[in-house]
Amino acid sequence: MRKIKYVEAIREALAEEMRRDERVFILGEDVGVFGGIFKTTLELIDEFGEERVIDTPISEAGFIGASLGAAITGMRPVAELMFCDFCTVAMDQIVNQIAKIHYMFGGQTKVPIVIRTNIGSGRSSAAQHSQSLQAWFMHVPGLKVVLPSTPYDAKGLLKTAIRDDNPVIFLEHKFLYQTVGEVPEEDYTVPFGVADVKREGKDLTIVATSKMVVESLKVAEKFAKEGIEIEVVDPRTLVPLDKKTILKSVKKTGRVVIVDEGCKTAGVGAELSAMIMEEGFDYLDTPVVRVASLDVPVPFSPPLEKAQMPMLEDIEKAVRSLL
């Protein structure tokens, strides 16, 4: 099977879905001629034109609100927020409108919106361009939340998101765009609510999201040299969440480390830990351990940034604490 970059997988999914359905269009800041801040929409304007690849004013509230209007009148917008941090400017539209319209209208209208954005630190982009806010969206009923960790998942999940009749928050990681993986040339989708066991193991389970899946696999390889087999589970979607696969792994290993790049307090790790305690307590041989970012703004300084975010050694330390 061919291998392509994560960024190319995203671009392919967008192009293929736009060819498949003329109602699909892209809008956001610098998505047209510039090709997007991370080049995920590069050259799409050449094929689809300015009416379907729309460079918007610098107004997140404006173009996210426009996406809602377009969606409930029959279009299928894919809106790109340049950085996840900028969702704050459009949170009224996302939380109070997009997430609730289907319910408040008694199911009489569909809201097929995909909001693509990126998360993650490590680029010295400082506190306003480096956050991982997936827990915020997970907390809002009415939104689906997707975090692909591989090129294969990125393309398949984005196709599923665009075809979904509900609003989807699609979170890509800045440091995954240049990673390479196998992606079929034929059309395929990856279903929501189906976790993927990225690595089989019997001694301990790591449940990881986004870039932390890649880091956790590195840790698992290191421990394998010591004869310790770690299972790495990637939920892929936080809403809907595949509890069954996670609990099955917990039952097998009895030990769990949860790794997510968001802040620790009230984060994804907290929710997954609570779910495991409520529904899989009898399977546990040890308490659940969480690895997450420190509860401080992301620093600009590279050494301080590394101290704030979860690193390989943090995951390794958590694993050793349970073994």
Quick check: 305 and 274 in contact, CB under 8 A? no
Q: Indicate the SS3 state at residue 286.
A: coil
Confidence at residue 75, expressed as pLDDT on a 0 to 100 scale: 98
> Which member of 102, 129, 139, 173 is catalytic?
129
Confidence at residue 304, expressed as pLDDT on a 0 to 100 scale: 97
User: How far is it, in rounded angstroms, from Cα 206 to Cα 25?
Assistant: 37
β-pair partners for 197 = 233
* CA atoms within 13 Å, Cβ hemisphere of 64: 28
Kindly give, in sequence order, each residue whose CB lies less than 8 Å from that of residue 104, ignoring residues fewer than 6 positions away.
none
Asked about 129 being catalytic, the answer comes back as yes
Using the structure block, give the residue that is written with the tokens 């390794």. 316
In order along its 323 residues, the chain shows pLDDT tens digits of: 899 999 999 999 999 999 999 999 999 999 999 999 999 999 999 999 999 999 999 999 999 999 999 999 999 999 999 999 999 999 999 999 999 999 999 999 999 999 999 999 999 999 999 999 999 999 999 999 999 999 999 999 999 999 999 999 999 999 999 999 999 999 999 999 999 999 999 999 999 999 999 999 999 999 999 999 999 999 999 999 999 999 999 999 999 999 999 999 999 999 999 999 999 999 999 999 999 999 999 999 999 999 999 999 999 999 999 99
Using the structure block, give the residue that is written with the tokens 């620093």. 299
- The reply to whether the predicted model has a pTM over 0.95 is yes
For the record, the structure tokens of 75 come out as 């279009």
List the helix and strand counts (H, then E) for the chain: 12, 14
Closest CA to 11 of 38, 46, 34, 41: 41
User: How far is it, in rounded angstroms, from Cα 274 to Cα 263?
Assistant: 16
- Expressed in angstroms, the distance from the first to the final Cα of the chain is 37
In order of start, what are the domains of the chain with their CATH numbers? 3-182 (3.40.50.970), 196-322 (3.40.50.920)
Closest CA to 206 of 228, 243, 246, 233: 233
- Measured in whole angstroms, the distance separating CA 208 from the mean position of its chain's CA atoms is 11
